[in-house]
Every structure is written in C-alpha cells, then in structure tokens.
Amino acid sequence: MRRPLSLLVLSALLPVAALADPAALDVAAPFEIKAADPVLSGDIFLKMDVMETLVNADENGALLPGLSDSWSVSDDKLSWRFHIRPGVTFHDGTALTSDAAATALNWSKSKESILTRAPISSIRAEGDEVEITLTEAFAALPAFLAEYRTGILAPAAYAADGSVVGLIGTGAFKVTRLEPPLTLEAERYDAYWGGAAKVPAVHYTAVTRAETRALMAESGDAELVVNLDPASFARLGSVDSVTVQSVSLPRVLLLKLNAASPFFDTVEERRALSLAIDRDGLAQAVLRYPAAAGQMFPPAMGGWHDEALEPLAYDAEAARAAFAAAGWLPGADGILEQDGQRFEVELLTYPDRPELPLTAAVLEQFFRDVGIAVTINSTNSSEIPAKHTDGTLQLALFARNFALVPDPVGTLMQDYAPTGDWGAMGWDNAGFTAAVKKMAAEGGADEEKSALAATLHAELPVLPIAWYQQTAAISKTVKGIVIDPYERSFGLKSAEFVE
Amino acid sequence: MNTALNTIAFRLMQAAGVALVVGVMSFLMMQAMPGDMAFRIAAARYGYDLVNADLANAVRAELGLDAGPVTQFLHWMGGLARLDLGQSLVSGQPVWDEITHQLGASLQLALAAIVLSLLIGPPLGICAGLHAGGRFDRALLVVAASFRAVPQFLLGLLLIILLAVQMRLLPAAGHGSLAHFVLPALTLALGLAAASARITRDAMAGVAASPLYAFARAKGLSDGEVLRRHGLRNIGAPVVTYLGLQFVLLVEGVVVVETIFGWPGIGHALIHAVFHRDVPMVQGTALVMGLGFVLLNAIIDLIVRRIDPRGVQS
C-alpha cells in the first residue's frame, strides 16, 4: 500500500534524470570559488575562459599577446607600454579601452595582488596603450601581467570601493550564474574577439572530494575532471568512456627544512637526509607516476632543468654513514643522538592535496630507517608560513608552483633570495640572491638559469622529492580539451563535442 | 489556547538564551583553536600557493585582529543587536547572504530527505508492529540496523556507484536540477527511515497489544478501521516527537552528504568556515542553526498537542 507510493515518487523523479543541460560542457575540480573578485578566484575564471589577462602564456611558458596585442619597454627600462587589442568587448557590450584596462589593473594593485610585488609607481591609460612606470628595471613585468590576479574586468564590475560586484570579463564565455562556493555557469559569448566558442555553455562545479570527482567522470556527469587521486587515476585508466591524462607541471613536491636548526645546519646533514629518500619507489608507489625529482626543476622547464646534473640518489647506508660523520650516532633505541640531543623532528604538511599526507607517511618510514624520529602534523597549509615566520618549523612537505607567473624567477625571488615562506629557511647565499635579483630586473640566459639550479642542487636548501603531474579525466564525447602545464587554461574556447 | 501561547513565549525566551549561548560558545571555541587566525584567513582567501607572512599581516591589519578578542566579540554582539551578522572574513560577502543561499539549499535537501524517509520508514514500521515478532518484523530489524550502522559516507558512495555509474540513472554529484536531489536525499533518507521504522514499529506493537486495540476489534471494526481510528493517532505523538529529534541526525548527516555530493549547503559551509577561521560566518551559521532547532521544537510541540490534547485542559 505505502511502499508503492514511495516508488511512485521515485519514478516521478526519474524522468528528469537526464542532466539539466546536456549541451553544456561540465568541469569538476576541487577548487572552490570564493567570490567574483579575480584577486580571490581569478584562477578559475581564467581557466573557464570567462576572464582574460593582458598577456597570455603558451604551454611552454612563452609569453603571447592577450588583451594586449603588443608591448614595448623604454630604453631606460622604467616605462612599459601595453597596446590594447582593438575590437574587444566586455560581456556587457562595452568596449575594452586602455582606460578600462588601467582601471582594472589599478584595482588589482590596490589589493593583495601579484602587482604589489613589482616595483610599479603608476599605471595609466595613454591613448590606445596602458603605460606602467617602474621605480627600477623589472624584466618580469609582462609575465606578472599574465597572472590571474591581474585579470581584466569591465569598469561596471567594480563598486566605488573596488569590490567586485559582477563578473564582467572579455572571455569566450559569459557568466550566467555565479554562486560561490560551488557553481559557475557561463554561455557562449558570440561577440568574442577570438571567434565564438564551439560549445554553447560551460559549467564549473567545485567538488572537494576526490572520490566523488572520479565517480562524476565515470558516470559521465562531468566531461572534464581535474586533480584525481592516485588510486582513482589508476582505476579510471580502465574505464572505456574516458581518457586519463597526466601532464608534467612546473610544480615540485618539496621537503623544506630549517637550515638554521642543529639538525640541518650543514650541507652534509642535508645531503644525508636526501640520501635517505627513495624517490623512485615513492613516486611509483604513492604518486603512481615515474616522476622522482633527481633535481629541483622538471625537464619541462627549459633552461632551468640541467641534464648534466647528477640525480639525487637513494642510499640509506651512505645516509647513516654521513650522519655519523656529522656527529649523529644511534642511541640505545636506534634514534640518532648528538650531545644528548635526540634527532626528533616534526614534519608539517596539509591534506588539500590528497597525496601529501601519504607521501609524508612514507618519508617518516625512510627517515626512521636511518634513525630519525619524525612526527607528522597534517594541518592547515598556512601553518607552514606561520611556523617559518616564528622560526619553529623543522620539516615541511608541500607542492610548490614555480609558474605562479610564467617566469620561474618570480617564484625564486620570493622563495630563495635569500629565504621565503615556501622556500629556503635559515639559508643565505649572497651570490645566489644577487643573481636572482639581476635576472628579475634584466632577464637571463640559459647558462645563468642552470647556474642557479646547480647552486640549489649543491646546497640543498630544500629537498626536491617529485615532479608534479596534473591528472585529469576527459570524456571521449569531447575533443580539444587541454591540460595546460601552467594551469591557465582547459582549452574550453576551442573544445567541441564529437558525435 | 493559553498553553499554546505559553509554549510560544517559552520558546521565544529559549531562542534568546540559545542566541546568547551559541554566540559566546562559538566565539570562545574559535579563539581556543590552534593556529594564527590571520594566517588561516589568508590561506583561505588566497590559497596555499600564495599564502605567506606578508599576506597574513595584511589580513591582520585589514581586519583589526590585533584589537583583541574582547573588542571583536563586542563588535559582533553590537552588530547582532542591529540584526547584522557582519561580513565573511574570506569572501567579504555579507554573512546573511551566504547563509540564506546555503541554508536554502540545505533545507531543500533536508526536506526532501524527511519526506522520503516518511514514505519509507513509518509504513514499514507499522507493518512490522502490527505483526510483532513475525518474519517481516525480524527482517526489518536486520535491515534497519544495517542501514543505521552503515556510515552515510559509505552509503552515499555505494548509491553513486550503483545508480549513477552502473545504471546511469542519476547524476553522481552536483546541484541545480531535480535529478540532483535524488541521491543525496536518498542517502539521508535511508538512515532516517531505518530509525523511524524502528520507533514506529515499537509504538505500533505497543498500541496493537493494548486493551484499547483489542476492544476496538471486539466491537467489530475491521483491521483497516482499527488502524485508522485508533492506531495511527496513538502512534502519532511518539513518531512526531522522534521526527523532531531526527533533525539532529539530519544536520550531522547533511554535513557529510553535502561534501560527498558537492551540494552547496550550510553543513559544508560551516566546516569550511571553521577550517578558515571565518568567525562571523561560524557564529552566524551556528546561530541560525540553533534558532532553527528552537523553531522546530516549537512546531513539534504544537503538532503533538493537536494529536494528543490530553493534559491541555488540566
């Protein structure tokens, strides 16, 4: 009598089981949308082709024209002029002018954006150009203008205080629904300057659980799913309806150590710790892709990666010997000791990337094997900069992106010249610092880049563990999706459904 | 009528008390949590690639975190007195806007789950209670205990694998269309129905074994008539009261289920706000949920009084 009733209700719901909008291309990713402001969530808006930047970058990090079709720098290197591409309109129909671009950049600069890191004295519109004047030479400026926090929105998108009230960009898709933290929907913008997109609409859903994302790929709910956990990646490889991809990123799994602490204050100790790590085994068993980092920079980072460097090796016996040579000898319980101090350290990490706590657990075993007692603390990512600042950090495991701006020198400047929250700690190499600053100001040749890499390799202010791979599952019903190593694009504006 | 008014007056006072206690407790708990708040908020706003000491200091200066907890608390209470819950420290949006958006989504899901569980649980419980000790009763006991024992996390994933991945009947996760309701609502409903089936079964068995039931049969009423005239109303009060309690289970379940199914609800929002040390968001959400319970209990009180008016006259 009553069970049929519940079945009736269920069956009434089932006919609508087909997705609301089958014509839309659905993307599922772990990143939540915070607000309409590019400074907070511009990475998502950029990848969804809703918003664009003055400068673009290709999959090798080479800079390309974006909303600015050409740029030049004055002879004294203190004034840059970015010519605004003609014929571009915002989604509200207004034209992209140099005034509009300068307004957007000035709002970005007034917030916690990448532009506060550049020596900029003013940004203003000059005819068809945006003129940026500097207080000192800064060759990396165009790369900074490719970063998502400098995304250009229409003047109408900003309130009087600079807060963003509407997401009005210039991209190939026009926002129809923005509901932080989980939902963004956009439809094709027919007046897009680069030619209208092929798919009529794109949807973005933030799904924090990796298992759910993988199931969405498998069930066909999302045509593109990014950041798969290692187990799901392996499983989806045998599912017929999707292809899985993994692309090497300029992102490196790093073990940061406090070179000012008695445990790691000599390069011999840091090398000994490095010898204790079986990088190949870890990459195969935990990350499930062959990407052990034999040196800091991955092969895709041209100029920075140096084939000639001898890869960081694994030799537990040699590690124990090196620690013994440095005065660390096993105590009664096998834990190393020196002058009554036990080799006990805390390893900080965070669970936002599912492989980090797993990797930390494996490292704990490797280190225990050579006599180091490690306590893992998997917590909020901000504990790493917080403990760096108050000097209590000992070890930290994280994934660092060397392409926050497409030019890695921006990251090196923040992290290793001489120290940084996500880089070296208690390490100071004056020559290295000067070389990085010179490169940021003037640019640098490949020899200078590999010289910097060699210094990091020799002194090991941090230990590279693995080169990152971006993983994604792409439905076979679409083509044209791109997994961009610089995490700027999904290729949605050129993607299409196949019959 | 007087007692109804008394009930409402009592609940209003309770609401004021709940608001105060929730406000103070959530504030104290947030203060007691480890970690530097400015760093946590900066991490939430800018992400782990960018959070650093400079950003944390900028956040500290912008939000006046150096002013100390007492000043911040008084500020929040002052805002509350003006019915202003403040702004999220992470997104900068008014807390009230975020709550209404997210609470709306959670309420829809909760309501769907309750309706579904009522269609499943009590009818099965009545069947089992009418034949207490029978085969169906014993089978229901096993089934209900299993569904109650399976964590919702697991149940949700099993349902996705079965109905979305294998049978391709429903979307695996997401939010927006009617079809998106079914799996998360069913995940919640099965757990709720398992409990309410047991409660209904016990109440029904009690009533069915009582002298009044035997008398009703003896005077010649059919089984259906006995159930409708004497059974349902007698089991109504305990079942409805238990329904109120189930909302507690529901809130617990909603947190898990929303995360699995990518549902933009308040449970999900509360976890993230706690993780991000978004104090106004935590306080606002806890307050709204606390007041929601008071309202719910008031409604349940009034309904139970209608079902079972005994004691009202005295």
- The per-residue pLDDT for range A379-423, each reduced to its tens digit, is 888 889 999 999 999 999 999 988 877 778 888 988 998 888 899
Banded pLDDT at A19 (limits 50, 70, 90): very low
Contact A386 B36 (CB under 8 A): yes
Banded pLDDT at B116 (limits 50, 70, 90): very high
pLDDT the model gives residue A11: 44
What tokens does A7 get? 């079945």
DSSP string covering A42-91, please? HHHHHHTTS-B-SEEE-TTS-EEESSEEEEEE-TTS-EEEEEEPTT-B-T
Determine which of A261-270, B57-66, B153-162, B241-250 has the lowest per-residue pLDDT on average: B241-250
pLDDT the model gives residue B213: 83
DSSP string covering chain B, please? -HHHHHHHHHHHHHHHHHHHHHHHHHHHHHHHSSS-HHHHHHHHHH-TTT--HHHHHHHHHHHTGGG-HHHHHHHHHHHHHTT---B-TTT-SBHHHHHHHHHHHHHHHHHHHHHHHHHHHHHHHHHHHHTTTSHHHHHHHHHHHHHHHS-HHHHHHHHIIIIIIIS--S-SS-SSSTHHHHHHHHHHHHHHHHHHHHHHHHHHHHHHTSHHHHHHHHTT--HHHHIIIIIHHHHHHHHHHHHHHHHHHHHHHHHHHHHHHT---HHHHHHHHHHTT-HHHHHHHHHHHHHHHHHHHHHHHHHHHHH--TTS--
Whether the predicted pLDDT of B285 surpasses 60:
yes
The residue of chain A with its CA nearest to that of B256 is: A209
- State how far the Cα of A197 lies from the Cα of B200, in Å rounded to an integer: 57
Classify domain A251-469 by CATH architecture: Roll (3.10)
Q: Which residues of chain A have a CB within 8 Å of the CB of B45?
A: 34, 40, 112
Contact B172 A216 (CB under 8 A): yes
pLDDT the model gives residue A69: 96
Whether the predicted pLDDT of B163 surpasses 50:
yes
3 state DSSP class of A252: strand
Cα angle for residues A462, A352, A398 (degrees, 5° grid): 0
Banded pLDDT at B25 (limits 50, 70, 90): confident
Q: What percent of chain A has pLDDT over 90?
A: 66
pLDDT the model gives residue A109: 93
Backbone angles phi, psi at A179, to 5 degrees: -125, 90
Mean pLDDT, chain A, integer: 90
pLDDT the model gives residue A77: 93
Cα angle for residues B128, B129, B135 (degrees, 5° grid): 40
Substitution target in A27, A182, A488 with the highest count of B β-carbons within 10 Å is A182
Give how far the C-alpha of residue B132 lies from the chain's centroid of Cα atoms, to the nearest Å.
31
The neighbouring-strand residues paired with B244 are: none
Cα angle for residues A140, A143, A144 (degrees, 5° grid): 85
Whether the predicted pLDDT of A6 surpasses 70:
no
Backbone angles phi, psi at B20, to 5 degrees: -65, -50
Residue that the structure tokens 């947190």 belong to: B255
pLDDT the model gives residue A9: 46
Q: What percent of chain B has pLDDT over 90?
A: 9
Domain boundaries, chain B: 2-95, 96-275
Burial of B13 (0-12, 13-18, 19+ CB in 10 A): exposed
Which of A14, A18, A385 has the CB atom closest to B56's CB atom? A385
Determine which of A63-72, A268-277, B92-101 has the lowest per-residue pLDDT on average: B92-101
- State how far the Cα of A432 lies from the Cα of A153, in Å rounded to an integer: 38
3 state DSSP class of A378: strand
3 state DSSP class of A274: helix
Q: What residues contact A449, with CB distance under 8 A and at least 6 apart?
A: A303, A304, A439
DSSP string covering A149-169, please? GG-B--GGGB-TTS-B-S---
Whether the predicted pLDDT of B313 surpasses 80:
no
CATH topology of domain A21-78+88-94+104-118+136-245+471-497: D-Maltodextrin-Binding Protein; domain 2 (3.40.190)
ipTM: 0.78
Contact A215 B179 (CB under 8 A): no
The residue of chain B with its CA nearest to that of A181 is: B264
pLDDT the model gives residue B311: 61
Contact B51 A385 (CB under 8 A): yes
Size of interface A-B (CB pairs under 8 A): 172
Contact B171 A181 (CB under 8 A): no
Q: Is the peptide bond before A418 cis (omega within 30 degrees of 0)?
A: yes
What tokens does A239 get? 């599912």
**Chain B contact present for A150, CB below 8 A:** no
Query: Among residues 23-62 of chain B, which lie with CB inside 8 Å of chain A?
Result: 35-36, 39-40, 42-53, 55-56, 58
Substitution target in A46, A219, A392 with the highest count of B β-carbons within 10 Å is A219
Q: What residues contact B139, with CB distance under 8 A and at least 6 apart?
A: none
Banded pLDDT at A430 (limits 50, 70, 90): very high
**Chain A contact present for B169, CB below 8 A:** yes
Bridge-based pairing state of the strands A395-401 and A344-349: parallel
For B309, other C-beta atoms within 10 Å of its C-beta total 10
Whether the predicted pLDDT of A366 surpasses 90:
yes
Q: Who has greater pLDDT, B313 or A61?
A: A61
pLDDT the model gives residue B1: 53
pLDDT the model gives residue A123: 96
- State how far the Cα of A422 lies from the Cα of A425, in Å rounded to an integer: 9
Query: Among residues 66-125 of chain A, which lie with CB inside 8 Å of chain B?
Result: 112
Q: Are A231 and A210 in contact (CB under 8 A)?
A: no
What tokens does B25 get? 């407790």
Whether the predicted pLDDT of A18 surpasses 60:
no
**Chain B contact present for A5, CB below 8 A:** yes
User: Averaged over B144-162, what is the pLDDT?
Assistant: 89
Contact A219 B179 (CB under 8 A): no
Backbone angles phi, psi at B295, to 5 degrees: -60, -45
Name which of A149, A390, A395 is nearest B50 in CA terms: A149
Q: Which residues of chain A have a CB within 8 Å of the CB of B179?
A: 13-14, 16-20
Residue that the structure tokens 């049969």 belong to: B217
Banded pLDDT at B97 (limits 50, 70, 90): confident
Whether the predicted pLDDT of B197 surpasses 50:
yes
Which amino acid makes up residue B295? Answer: L
- State how far the Cα of A461 lies from the Cα of A387, in Å rounded to an integer: 17
Contact B172 A16 (CB under 8 A): no
Q: Are B89 and B277 in contact (CB under 8 A)?
A: yes
User: Averaged over A41-69, what is the pLDDT?
Assistant: 93
Could you tell me the CA-to-CA distances from A429 to A321, A417, A435, A452 in Å, in that order? 27, 8, 10, 11
Q: Who has greater pLDDT, B202 or B4?
A: B202
User: Averaged over A101-124, what is the pLDDT?
Assistant: 91
- State how far the Cα of A34 lies from the Cα of A99, in Å rounded to an integer: 27
Whether the predicted pLDDT of A8 surpasses 50:
no
Give how far the C-alpha of residue B99 lies from the chain's centroid of Cα atoms, to the nearest Å.
15
Could you tell me the CA-to-CA distances from A225 to A219, A221, A316, A474 in Å, in that order? 12, 10, 39, 7
The neighbouring-strand residues paired with A84 are: A68
Report the side by side order of strands in the sheet with A183-188: A173-179, A183-188, A201-206, A24-29, A224-226, A462-475, A242-257, A395-401, A344-349, A373-378
Banded pLDDT at A347 (limits 50, 70, 90): very high
Q: Is the peptide bond before A357 cis (omega within 30 degrees of 0)?
A: no
- State how far the Cα of B117 lies from the Cα of B197, in Å rounded to an integer: 9
Q: Are B11 and B244 in contact (CB under 8 A)?
A: no
Q: Are A59 and A486 in contact (CB under 8 A)?
A: yes
Classify domain B96-275 by CATH architecture: Orthogonal Bundle (1.10)
- Intervals of CATH 3.10.105.10 along chain A: 251-469
Which of B90, B120, B177 has the CB atom closest to A34's CB atom? B90
Q: Are A151 and A52 in contact (CB under 8 A)?
A: yes
**Chain B contact present for A379, CB below 8 A:** yes
Whether the predicted pLDDT of A165 surpasses 70:
yes
- The per-residue pLDDT for range A174-214, each reduced to its tens digit, is 999 998 888 999 999 999 999 999 999 999 999 888 888 99
Residue that the structure tokens 């008031």 belong to: B298
For A1, other C-beta atoms within 10 Å of its C-beta total 8
The residue of chain A with its CA nearest to that of B161 is: A215
Which of B53, B168, B264 has the CB atom closest to A182's CB atom? B264
- State how far the Cα of B155 lies from the Cα of B234, in Å rounded to an integer: 33
Q: What percent of chain A has pLDDT over 70?
A: 96
Give A160's Cβ-side CA count (13 Å radius).
0
pLDDT the model gives residue B312: 53
For A72, other C-beta atoms within 10 Å of its C-beta total 10
3 state DSSP class of A189: coil
